[in-house]
Structure 1
């Protein structure tokens, strides 16, 4: 049912220590400490992370950040220790496609 799918998705969302989250290798998009970042930091301080970042688990117990590089940086600048993430099992190719698509969608806003 839809309710079961929603519950399963919520089970994958957790607050992960930022120190355990590695950036996506060769991430081609720039994360800038600009005015937009300042606004994101203030928003996260006031309301927290509304949309979880997406990570995939690594074999060593760490996580690889697929989407949410700006949110991760904003949390660091806000002095937070954790980032709200959805943990998803993805192949390297699936992770690359999701990373590119999520950045493309953000640039269209």
Structure 2
């Protein structure tokens, strides 16, 4: 169960990162509200997962999931370009997350 909560918290990390960007420095109300809600839920889930998973592993997975999804969202919304090297590096990052799960 801790792994599912951790992955969900990583997804929420990507949500709050995208909402932070969309808030334009906290000047837009809805993205700002989404940022704070997703941030609180993401941190709560990470904290809960860390009660049964090693801290370093949990944090690395949380950051990796969030970073990967944030980049994919930026590519999807055309804020960033999808280059072969960028996608290959994201694949390595995802492989590393899977590897951390496999050895934990």
TM over 0.5: no
TM-score, structure 1 normalization: 0.28
TM-score, structure 2 normalization: 0.29
Higher helix share: 2
